[in-house]
Structure 1
Amino acid sequence: MVIFVASVVMYLLIVWSGGAIPLNELVIAVALGVVITLACRSWSPGLYRLTALRPDRWIKLIAFIFGPFLWGMTKANLDVAYRVITGKINPGIVRVQTSLKNSYAMTMLANSITLTPGTLTVDVDENNGTYYIHWINITKVEPTGEDIYGSFEEWAKRVVES
């Protein structure tokens, strides 16, 4: 239902020009909402689990975003600025093993890594939880997850896998 409503509202916001919305645009919005909802359901049936609606998960996610993620983002921005100014970089791709099993937790971690300046998730092997990450300054040949993304993995477990 959420995907349907969000799709209809987004379409109507795109076509709205300040006045009344014509009936044909409403029909198109509803039709597209149905198509998008059915497509999302067939691509990801797990999306319709009610566990995503649990308030404790939303509270944990907000705590992650405004706590460790914001702190990691701030540190990474300062580090990247330093490396841009001084030219002291040692870029490369490293492999990191995680203990995440849930695909949503793996996606949350991959996105958190990619959003943090200086790192980019290049590939994820979902079968064994291996991430390939482009890192702006490789300090170890075999780094741990803690070296690259800090406590993000533990937070992904708390938010999604609990």
Structure 2
Amino acid sequence: MFIFVVSFLMYLLLVWSGGAIPMIEVLIALILASVITVAFRSWHKGRKISMRGLDPKRWFGFFHYLFGPFAVGLAKANIDVAKRVITGDIRPGIVKVNPGLTTDVARTMLADSITLTPGTLTVDVDEEGAFYIHWIYVEDENPTEEQLYGTFGHWARRLAE
């Protein structure tokens, strides 16, 4: 159902020109969404589709994270990197940390949050879920989550697991 709804709405969004959408476009959207849904189910037979992504509480939580903790972390990191560029006080390196995330969505959310924050870059994630992160100033060879990326791991667990 989720694949159908997303496909249907995306098609209508692409053909919408500001006015009313012609009925033929709605019909095409229904047919196309049906074909995509059937194709997805045949390609991913064992995979269950969850409706959790449509929950308004999840969306509110994500926007709260995006404009709250992530925005604050982003601002702090920008200031820190600017200070380090001006003073030349850098000690780059790659560190390993295992946040213990179990889902791919949570790992992707955390990896993207780390990479979007100046001064850190997610280099790799291994099979056990350990992250290899390039850090502009390595304070500790075995850093805690809080030292490395603040509360991002907590939010990834809360929103995506």
User: Taking structure 1 as the reference length, what is the TM-score of the superposition?
Assistant: 0.76
Question: Which 5+ residue runs of structure 1 have no aligned equivalent?
Answer: 17-22
Question: Which 5+ residue runs of structure 2 have no aligned equivalent?
Answer: 18-23
**Alpha-carbon shift at residue 9 of structure 1 (Å):** 5.0
The Cα offsets for residues 37-88 of structure 1, whole Å up to 9 and x where unpaired, read as 6776647945x31011111111111111111111100000001111111111
Specify the alignment match of 2:8 in structure 1: 5
User: Taking structure 2 as the reference length, what is the TM-score of the superposition?
Assistant: 0.76
Specify the alignment match of 2:52 in structure 1: 51
Cα RMSD after superposing both structures: 2.9
Specify the alignment match of 2:155 in structure 1: 155
Distance, in Å, in 2 between the alignment partners of 1:55 and 1:36 is 25
**Alpha-carbon shift at residue 135 of structure 1 (Å):** 0.7
1:61 maps to 2:37: no
Change (3 A) 1:30 1:51: closer
Alignment of 1:68-147 (within 5 A): 68-125=69-126, 127-147=127-147
Distance, in Å, in 1 between the alignment partners of 2:140 and 2:8 is 47
Specify the alignment match of 2:20 in structure 1: none
**Alpha-carbon shift at residue 136 of structure 1 (Å):** 0.8
Q: Percent identity among equivalent residues?
A: 48
